[in-house]
Structure 1
């Protein structure tokens, strides 16, 4: 793409005062970099992705409120993590983290385990323990 053809459409990055660095060609057909605020196709894809993420967060919140899942699920979704990422951050096997998704198991966890999760999510142990999904 030529530097002068680089799209500068309104996007999520514009509202956050951000730009994306892309490789383009200059007038001499040499590769260089240029900043773009985005383009329509990318904006649509990002908007749809964020809508799906927000749906998953809301579903996790409802599952916590209905005592189907532990608060770990909600905070994992809220922080845009999956099981593998969360397990690596807290330094536990995936199967062990998955067990902690069950409310009955979660309620029995001691503070040293909860601290790993709380630190990973950037919250306190108290916030993790007392999240009920209703607020």
Structure 2
């Protein structure tokens, strides 16, 4: 893409006067850094992704409220983690975490176990224990 062709579409970045660095070819055929205020297709994808994430968080909150899953699921979604990432943070196997997602199992977890989750979510054990959706 040529330097003058770098998109300058309005985006969530441009509202805060933040620009994104792109690389483009200048008039001499060399790659150079060019600021971009946004690109409409990218903005559409980002907005749709954020909407999906918000829906997943809301669903997890409702599932906790309805007693279908433990608060671990909500905080995992809220922090945009998946099981692989959470397993890396806690050191637990995924099959073990799946058990911890069950409300009855969650209620029996020790504070030591809950501390690993709380640390991963940057909250206290009490916040994790007392979250009701």
> Which aligned segments of 4 or more residues in structure 1 are displaced greater than 3 angstroms?
15-18
Offset at residue 32 of structure 1 (A): 1.7
2:122 corresponding residue in structure 1: 122
CA distance in 2, matches of 1:34, 1:100: 48
**Counterparts of residues 69-80 of structure 1 (less than 5 Å):** 69-80=69-80
1:106 is aligned to 106
TM-score (norm 2): 0.94
Unpaired segments ≥5 residues, structure 2: none
- Give the corresponding residue for 1:87: 87
The answer for the alignment partner of 1:26 in structure 2 is: 26
Q: TM-score, normalised by structure 1?
A: 0.92
Structure 2 equivalent of residue 5 of structure 1: 5
**How many angstroms does 1:88 deviate by?**
0.8
Bigger Cα displacement from structure 2, 35-44 vs 48-57:
35-44
Q: Deviations over 1:42-95 (max 9, x none)?
A: 111111111111110000000000000000000000011111111111111111
SS across alignment from 1:32: strand
